[in-house]
Amino acid sequence: MANDFKGDVKEFAMVVPVPTVLEKDQIHIGDPAMLKHLADHSAPRLVEYFDENPCRRYELMEDRMGSMQNMAPASAPAKQERGKALGVTVEAQYTVGEYDILILSAKESHGLET
């Protein structure tokens, strides 16, 4: 995996599911040249374009979007309390290269959702 995030690093996170708690020596930063070679090799070679359905009822979509925008995101303390209630624990914490890594576990699967 690679990231190309540009902006405030406090706004960046990457979630990678792992089957067990990893040790620090099991975590490595990949060679950018190898990742570029894989990206170049697996790049799409065919593009198809499709026109939108002209008969689609857009007013239904607007109604759904309006109700979704009214949902306010939970505050950070509320998320922490929710995480504690669902059994979220920090199993390990490492710094590898420029990355701060947290290995999390939870008693309930909903505890690891953002």
pLDDT tens, position by position, 19-48: 889 899 998 888 889 888 988 888 888 878
Handedness of CA 73, 76, 77, 81 (dihedral sign): positive
What pLDDT, on a 0 to 100 scale, did the predictor assign at position 82?
Answer: 62
Q: Please tell me the pTM assigned to this model.
A: 0.49
Residue 8 vs residues 12, 45, 76, 99, 106: alpha-carbon distances, Å: 7, 33, 18, 14, 28
Among 74, 102, 101, 100, CA closest to 88: 102
Q: Who has greater pLDDT, 96 or 108?
A: 96
SS3 102: strand
SS3 93: strand
Domain boundaries, the chain: 74-114
Provide DSSP, 22-41. PPGGG--PPPHHHHHHHHHH
